[in-house]
């Protein structure tokens, strides 16, 4: 549904994106991640036919975004980072206008406008002037205008920007409900949100794609060992020594020790499950075992690792970058 090959965009002598290549299948929801200035918005603007690329090719819904721009636009709903709204119009009037511009027939417009206002939770303020809305409501109006023509492809740049926690949950549920019916590519700085909504992620840094896969597959590729976290009521040094002597344990890291209770992360050989042995080692010394659980990489951990590794390889003059292994 979305095919990008060798996409490059220069602003003067500066390359905003370089040789970007990826694809998104029909009905898939994909997260587009990267630090500020990585090239996310530039790529999304090219896909939305907002601006041309310097080189490369991109197709949306089977149409080339450069040579068949008008046909591609008919099949795209686009929510830019800064939503262009008309403050002097009411929500209902604005959405009716957008639907007409996008070619929705008169008989369909009223139904489509009413439907997207309900789905985006703005039907209760349909007659309010856009200029009087809060930032959160304006963002929801922007999402509604992207949906009003029932497009095959949705390109959403920070769709939950400015929303409160309750609104974020509502819009997250709305986006998840679009899977299968629509193809969605979205960017977000809220990484847990992406992991809850998206089936795959595309990570871009310094204008280049550094990873395209599911979070689960990326975790398997990045993790070279298993990790177990324990909370033990006992003497910290003795706990470390006892755990380190177990076969299959590579290292034991002491994270904290408060009021006699220590938190330890045990690194194990790949494919080794030593939970039973770890528990027996602690209980056998008559220490209190308060917690024992596997530690998995979060999407935030994956993002930090990939981005810092890429920056270190591109600009070694910055010095070594220590990987942060968040729990």
pLDDT class of 305 with cuts at 50, 70, 90 = confident
Structure confidence at residue 318 (pLDDT): 37
pLDDT class of 325 with cuts at 50, 70, 90 = very low
CATH number for the region 224-294 comes to: 3.30.70.3190
Note the pLDDT tens digit of each residue in 176-202: 988 888 999 999 877 877 888 999 999
Strands (E) in 219-268, as ranges, are: 226-233, 249-258, 261-268
**Model confidence, pTM:** 0.77
Q: Cα(153)–Cα(61) distance, rounded to whole angstroms?
A: 7
Structure confidence at residue 191 (pLDDT): 81
Q: Cα(227)–Cα(298) distance, rounded to whole angstroms?
A: 13
pLDDT class of 219 with cuts at 50, 70, 90 = confident
Mean pLDDT of the chain: 88
Structure confidence at residue 309 (pLDDT): 66
Query: Could you tell me the residue ranges of all domains in the chain?
Result: 2-214, 224-294
Handedness of CA 73, 75, 80, 84 (dihedral sign): positive
- The more confident residue out of 315 and 304 is 304
Rg, the chain, Cα only: 25
Give the pair of three-digit tokens for residue 224: 């070279």
| Coarse DSSP helix, strand, coil percentages of the chain, rounded to the nearest 5 percent | 40, 30, 30
Q: Cα(212)–Cα(9) distance, rounded to whole angstroms?
A: 20
CA 26 to chain centroid: 18
Q: Cα(239)–Cα(244) distance, rounded to whole angstroms?
A: 9
Note the pLDDT tens digit of each residue in 156-177: 998 888 788 888 888 888 899 8
Note the pLDDT tens digit of each residue in 129-155: 999 998 889 999 999 999 999 999 999
The phi and psi torsions of 187 (rounded to 5 degrees) equal -105, 150
Structure confidence at residue 321 (pLDDT): 31
Most confident of 106-110, 157-161, 232-236, 308-312: 232-236
Neighbours of 231 (CB within 10 A): 17
Residue 233, CB-side half-sphere exposure with 13 Å CA sphere: 6
Q: Cα(188)–Cα(24) distance, rounded to whole angstroms?
A: 17
Q: Cα(184)–Cα(24) distance, rounded to whole angstroms?
A: 8
Interval 211-233 mean pLDDT: 82
Note the pLDDT tens digit of each residue in 31-88: 999 888 889 999 999 999 999 999 999 999 999 999 999 999 999 999 998 888 999 9
The CATH T-level fold of domain 2-214 is Rossmann fold (3.40.50)
Structure confidence at residue 225 (pLDDT): 67
Structure confidence at residue 170 (pLDDT): 86
192 close to 300: Cβ distance less than 8 angstroms: yes
Q: Cα(125)–Cα(147) distance, rounded to whole angstroms?
A: 18
9 close to 35: Cβ distance less than 8 angstroms: no
- The more confident residue out of 164 and 315 is 164
Q: Cα(251)–Cα(247) distance, rounded to whole angstroms?
A: 11
């Amino acid at each position: 549904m979305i095919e990008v090959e060798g996409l490059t965009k220069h602003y003067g002598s500066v390359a905003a994106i370089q040789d970007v290549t990826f694809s998104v299948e029909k009905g898939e929801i994909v997260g587009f991640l990267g630090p500020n200035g990585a090239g996310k918005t530039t790529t999304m603007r090219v896909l939305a036919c907002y601006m041309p690329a310097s080189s490369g090719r991109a197709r949306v819904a089977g149409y080339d975004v450069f040579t068949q721009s008008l046909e591609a636009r008919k099949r795209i709903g686009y929510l830019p980072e800064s939503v262009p709204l008309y403050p002097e119009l009411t929500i209902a009037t604005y959405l009716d206008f957008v639907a007409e511009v996008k070619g929705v027939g008169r008989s369909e417009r009223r139904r489509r406008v009413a439907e997207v206002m309900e789905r985006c939770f703005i039907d209760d303020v349909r007659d309010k002037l856009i200029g009087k809305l809060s930032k959160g409501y304006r963002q929801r109006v922007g999402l509604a205008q992207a949906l009003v023509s029932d497009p095959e492809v949705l390109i959403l740049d920070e769709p939950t920007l400015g929303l409160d926690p309750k609104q974020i949950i509502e819009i997250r549920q709305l986006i998840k409900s679009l899977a299968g019916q629509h193809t969605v590519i979205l960017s977000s700085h809220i990484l847990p949100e992406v992991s809850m909504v998206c089936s795959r992620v595309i990570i871009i840094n310094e204008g280049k794609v550094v990873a395209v896969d599911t979070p689960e597959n990326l975790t398997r590729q990045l993790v070279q060992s298993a990790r177990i976290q324990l909370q033990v009521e006992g003497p910290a040094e003795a706990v470390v020594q006892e755990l380190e002597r177990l076969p299959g344990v590579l290292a034991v890291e002491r994270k904290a020790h408060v009021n006699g209770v220590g938190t330890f992360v045990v690194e194990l050989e790949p494919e080794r499950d030593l939970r039973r042995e770890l528990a027996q080692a602690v209980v056998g010394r008559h220490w209190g075992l308060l917690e024992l659980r596997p530690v998995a990489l979060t999407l935030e951990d994956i993002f930090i690792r990939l981005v810092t590794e890429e920056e270190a390889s591109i600009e070694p003059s910055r010095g070594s970058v220590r990987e942060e292994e968040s729990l």
